[in-house]
Structure 1
Amino acid sequence: MIKIITIILLSLTFISCSTQHVPVKANEKAFEGEDTYILFALRAEQIRDYKSAATLFEKLYKKSSKKEYLYRSLADDLKAAEYKKVITRVDTLNQNSLADVKLVRYKIMALIKLPELDKAKKIAVSLAAKTKEADDYLLASDVFIKKKEYNMALKYLDSAYVQNYNEKILDKMAVILYSNLHRKKDAIAYLETDTRINGCSKLICNRLIGIYSHENNIDGLLSTYKRLYNVDKSENVAQKIIQIYAYKRDYIKLMNFLEESGADDDVLLQLYITGKDYEKAYKLADKLYVKTADVNYLGQDAIYEYESHENNISKKRVAEVVKKLEDVVAQTQNPLYENYLGYILIDHNVDVKKGMAYIENVLKKNPDSAYYLDSLAWGYYKLGKCNKAEKIFRRVATLEGGDNPEVIKHINAVKKCLNKSYKTKKVRKQK
């Protein structure tokens, strides 16, 4: 590729020999073949052959006197690490003056790279004093940073920031304050003040996050992540907020965040369930089922709809819950849903035998579950077979979960049933 570019350069030189050098306007073609030079120069840049690109743009400048070609040529020389060449070219054109500030900037950048920092410092300070432009304050600050003169670097950055409230300048200032001058509180104050005035951009928020993380400031981290979420509603940012709230065990505020943002409905659903807010739980599960068609959400929808109305549930709602659970069980055969369906059929006398069939099926897979055995025993109770129920409850009492309040309630009901049966038999015998 280098050989090809060299051949192109020779051919373009030959093509241009017949052209005369005349002053032209910036938007006018200076000579025949100018567009061809530009195309090859841009191609050289594209393949990162910056040396050839610089040579081509330099020829374009010499033949057209258009300054944009000169500046592009010097920029490519810098990329090609031709630092001494840049200095020589600028000195030839500028005669060590500050006449063309763009040329002076290229020289300063070349001196920084060499590095000839004292020379760069002298010129950069003079240029900033002359132009008072933000770009030149920034360039001077770069020299002072390289020389590790951080207070002076901060001074020039501050001057640039006053002129142009650029977040990249602020970020540089914060890094110097925090890492180099160890003025940690000042660094945070600069960044926080800017976010209050201008909002928390990704750059500034992420810088604050880095600092607060280093300082182990959990509240600062949370506050910043929440502000960042306003401009970057990504899953990653949302998860950070969720993790911090969970770490702080501030579940109420976590719930509020999730309700407002919709960042993670699965986590929100678990919070509703944990907090026994079954009304919100079943409505959210229903929303998730509609959104995803995941039958497990339909199962949770049914269970928590039932739980939210258990103490005052209508026959119509029971029928709706049963229908949902039947759909779920038909598709998943999940023991949790199967047991729940069986229990509802039994407890509400919808179809006790059918309910018991579901329970017996799940017991084949989980024979030692106190909860499933409780459901089966309750079925026998509903059928009036209290002796069978009592035998099962004796076993339930020895298992984990046997002291559950609902189980105890069922056991007491069976005891009353047995006592009543005993008294009835006694009365009959006396007669």
Structure 2
Amino acid sequence: MIKLCIFFISVIVFSSCSLKENVNVQANEKAFVDEDTYILFALRAEEVHDNKSAADLFTTLYEKSDKKEYIYRSLENDLMARENEKLIQRVDSLQKENTFDFRLMRYKVVALFELNRLDEAIKLSVLLASKTKKPNDYLLTSDIYIKRQEFDLAVKYLESAYAKENNEKILDKMSIILYVNLGRKKEAIAHLETYSRMLGCSELICLRLIAFYSNDNNIDGLLATNLRLYEFDKSPKVAKRIIQIYTYKQDYIGLTKFLEKSNSNDEVLLQLYSSLKYYDKAYVLASKLYSKTLNMDYLGQSAIYEYESAQNKSSKVLLKSVITKLEKVVQVKNQTIYLNYLGYILIDHEIDVKKGMSYIDRVLILQPKSAFYLDSKAWGYYKLGKCEKADKLIKEVAQMEGGDDPEVKVHVKKINECLKNIKR
């Protein structure tokens, strides 16, 4: 079971009654001549973490001035110095003078908690919360119940605190107890979802939902929450998670829409366009990426997608554009995909079959056993009228992996027809 980080003393107590914010030494008249000097020494002691000395100095200030701000500050330093027994005795003594001082009670509750005197701490804390009805006092009480592992009661007081102020940190703490300690997972998630729908999915709430949905293997919940998080946190980390989830779900249409809207990963979007055969969009995106980066791979892809997206693949304007781009690419990149594509276009459209064959030969040096590239070579022989050579090679291709490709079958048929014509 996950252990909760409980009891944030400085946050709960000092945020509600911090004397660093409330010390009032701006009275019209000093209580005694050296008051400012004592204050400076006390503040310096705090600055160097000499809390015992600071407590003594603020006690002196209180005794000389009778200003309550100083005794509160002194007790705060007792807590920082872990002088808990001393603090309890001092509070008990001071309470005789003050019928019911809420600040003194808070300090005593914290000291009792630190000493693990939980029965006394909870009794006093419940009384305090019932009288003040302040969120911080509800939180203080809930922390004690958490340490006592009375989680139902802890949630009760957290709910009271949350009802007073829709604080996401309170909700987060409550959801952890519900989910982890009480096993009320649906309730925990429902609270977080309600908050996120009504007040917006802050980073804290979204990340807590993501943690819960991840633990539950709720993929749809994970996706929806990450998409909400991305609305205000457009970091690559969040975008990457969304891409991974869409990919896991094999929802490539949804992923495409996300990438188009977010512009978070054009490289992945380009791959998607290619896989989904959105060649017109792929051509536009690859051209944009080339203009932006001058990366030759994008120029090569732009040429391929320009050709694949064209309705009239025999257009002279098209072929000139594609060939020009690919020739520019293969001058600097000796990659099989671009060499083969260029060679095949030159062969298939009978623009320059021999030159096309020379590009295919360069490919086969790199991958001599590729059925895909040997098919291009066989087709080159066919276009040169060397049908016997074409037939011998295409028969090898037909026996290889990829030999049943529809384009290979078309080539086999054409080459066989060529052989029959020769025999006649």
Q: Smaller-chain TM-score range? A: 0.7 to 0.9
Q: Look up the match of 1:235.
A: 236
| CA-CA distance at 1:197 after TM superposition | 0.6
| CA-CA distance at 1:368 after TM superposition | 2.0
AA partner of residue 280 (structure 1): K
AA partner of residue 403 (structure 2): G
Q: What is the rounded CA distance, in whole Å, between the counterparts of 2:314 and 2:55 in structure 1?
A: 83
1:279–1:164 Cα change, 3 Å = same
Q: Look up the match of 1:218.
A: 219
SS at match of 2:400: coil
Q: What is the rounded CA distance, in whole Å, between the counterparts of 1:210 and 1:403 in structure 2?
A: 47
Segments of structure 1 that go 5 or more residues without pairing to the other structure are 1-22, 424-431
AA partner of residue 346 (structure 1): I
Instruction: Pick one of 20, 44, 63 that aligns with 1:40.
Output: 44
Q: Does 1:170 align with 2:206?
A: no
AA partner of residue 419 (structure 2): L
For the aligned residues, what is the CA RMSD?
2.9
Q: What is the rounded CA distance, in whole Å, between the counterparts of 1:360 and 1:293 in structure 2?
A: 28
Q: What is the rounded CA distance, in whole Å, between the counterparts of 2:72 and 2:225 in structure 1?
A: 41
* 1:166-224 deviations in Å (ceiling 9; x for gaps): 01111122122223333222222211111111111122222222222232322222222
| CA-CA distance at 1:56 after TM superposition | 5.7
- Indicate the percent of aligned positions where both proteins have the same amino acid: 57
Q: Look up the match of 1:18.
A: none
Q: What is the rounded CA distance, in whole Å, between the counterparts of 2:59 and 2:287 in structure 1?
A: 69
- How many residues of Structure 1 are paired with residues of Structure 2 in the alignment? 398
Q: Look up the match of 1:124.
A: 125
Q: TM-score, normalised by structure 2?
A: 0.83
Q: What is the rounded CA distance, in whole Å, between the counterparts of 1:267 and 1:60 in structure 2?
A: 68
Give 1:77-116 correspondences, 5 Å limit: 77-95=78-96, 97=98, 99-116=100-117
Q: What is the rounded CA distance, in whole Å, between the counterparts of 1:363 and 1:416 in structure 2?
A: 26
Judge conservation of contact 2:307–2:313 (CA < 8 Å) in 1. no
AA partner of residue 44 (structure 1): V
Q: What is the rounded CA distance, in whole Å, between the counterparts of 2:295 and 2:415 in structure 1?
A: 39
Q: What is the rounded CA distance, in whole Å, between the counterparts of 1:129 and 1:312 in structure 2?
A: 82
Q: What is the rounded CA distance, in whole Å, between the counterparts of 2:281 and 2:55 in structure 1?
A: 67
1:409–1:89 Cα change, 3 Å = same
Judge conservation of contact 1:24–1:64 (CA < 8 Å) in 2. no
Segments of structure 2 that go 5 or more residues without pairing to the other structure are 1-23
Q: Look up the match of 1:314.
A: 315
Q: Look up the match of 1:263.
A: 264
Judge conservation of contact 1:112–1:120 (CA < 8 Å) in 2. yes
| CA-CA distance at 1:398 after TM superposition | 2.7
Q: What is the rounded CA distance, in whole Å, between the counterparts of 2:65 and 2:303 in structure 1?
A: 80
Q: Look up the match of 1:328.
A: 329
SS at match of 1:331: coil
Q: What is the rounded CA distance, in whole Å, between the counterparts of 1:233 and 1:31 in structure 2?
A: 54
Q: What is the rounded CA distance, in whole Å, between the counterparts of 1:159 and 1:139 in structure 2?
A: 12
Q: Look up the match of 1:386.
A: 387
| CA-CA distance at 1:59 after TM superposition | 5.8
Judge conservation of contact 2:360–2:373 (CA < 8 Å) in 1. yes
| CA-CA distance at 1:235 after TM superposition | 2.5
Q: What is the rounded CA distance, in whole Å, between the counterparts of 2:132 and 2:377 in structure 1?
A: 89
| CA-CA distance at 1:380 after TM superposition | 2.7
Q: TM-score, normalised by structure 1?
A: 0.82
SS at match of 1:106: helix
